[in-house]
Amino acid sequence: MKDLSELEDLYHGRLKHNLSSLEASRKKILNKFLLSIFGAILSLLVLVLYFTNADEPNAVIPIVIGLFLVFCLGIFIMAFKAKKIYRRQYKTEVVSEVVRAVNPDWNYDPDRKITSSDYRKSDLFRRAYDKYEGDDLISGLIDKTDFECSELHTQYKVVTYDKNGRRKEHWHTIFRGLFFHADFNKLFNGQTYVTPDYAEKIFGKWGQKFQKFSGKGSLVKLENPDFEKTFVVHSTDQIEARYILTPAIMEALLRIKDEYKRPVHFSFIDSRVYCALSFNNKLFEPKIVRSGVKFSDISSMYHLFLLNETIIKELNLNTRIWTKK
């Protein structure tokens, strides 16, 4: 794993060159998108003005405008296809290099994701999804501990009908962000869940009453005040939950939350720990509307990929203090 100065050397030595070579493609794609959108808007505006002001409409003019709209659509499709090629180059020449900078032995696949079965096994988000998307799968070993991590976006669909009977679909996010799971080297009897404590943050002590009914299993009260303010714990096995959530583990989970400053969920099920770190946007995609030649983009990406190292290190998973039974 490289430190920040080594990452800067990598950026100036190789990544900046790769990004700069992609700039010409980015600008062409952006120009095509802008040209197609501007041309379509202009065509529609001319068509509206023509029919509004023409005393005797001529069929030739709408046909010409229609052909120009088709031309604009063609440019838009070409730009979309070029964007897919640009994305592939960016993943190969930039993102994969950042992954190798963190750990050269990790496996990276830009088009794969955490399986839906692993997502369901975590039991963190129980709402049934209608759309399951993701990419940027990283897998491997950190010392003795196997792990997987990818970006995920799950959504459910709500269908409504307006007063005229027209059908409308509304998509709502269940989870969007980085999803991680790793071997905990302990076969759990129950299921333990550590989730953001929204109720107490909003309603104070009254929120504690809602906590009892907001999760699977029973509410687990612990002796760390900062942890109690940040997270709420539910478990199907109270004794095992306290066995897992030692003072050191609770402090580790707080540090992970402070490190990334995003809503984070954990579960301990079977013999694995699951972590879901929420974000509102896609994380490892190339920029189109602005230059991608920025060290801050590389640094941010590197920082997110370190989530794997951070969780395993903070939870001390490599010490193997437990044995699977």
User: pLDDT digits over 101-148, tens only?
Assistant: 888 899 999 999 999 999 999 999 999 999 999 999 999 998 889 999
In a domain, 305, yes or no: yes
Please report the pLDDT score of residue 191 as a whole number.
95
Task: Flag whether 232 is in a domain.
Answer: no
Comparing 209 with 153, which gets the higher pLDDT? 153
pLDDT of residue 215: 58
Q: Is residue 233 in some structural domain?
A: no
Residue 180 lies in a domain: yes
Q: How far apart are CA 25 and CA 154, in angstroms?
A: 31
What stretch of H or E contains 308? helix 307-314
Does residue 13 fall inside a structural domain?
yes
Q: Which domain holds residue 282?
A: 4-187+270-319
- Number of domains comprising the chain: 1
Q: How distant, in Å, are the alpha carbons of 21, 201, 226, 250 from that of 231?
A: 46, 10, 9, 10
Q: Cα separation of 302 and 102, whole Å?
A: 7
- Per-residue pLDDT tens for 50-107? 777 766 666 677 788 888 888 889 999 999 999 999 999 999 989 998 898 888 899 9
Query: Do the domain assignments include residue 204?
Result: no
Q: How far is the C-alpha of 230 from the C-alpha of 266, rounded, in Å?
A: 13
Rounded alpha-carbon distances, angstroms, from residue 176 to 120, 152, 172, 200 = 15, 6, 11, 23
SS3 content of the chain, % helix, strand, coil (to 5): 50, 25, 25
Range scoring the smallest mean pLDDT among 49-58, 245-254, 308-317: 49-58
The answer to whether position 203 is within a domain reads no
Predicted local confidence at residue 206, as pLDDT:
42
d(CA 172, CA 155): 5
- 71 falls within a domain: yes
Query: Taking the CA atoms of the chain, what radius of gyration do you get in angstroms?
Result: 25
Instruction: Give percent above pLDDT 90 in the chain.
Output: 42
Averaged pLDDT score across all residues of the chain:
86
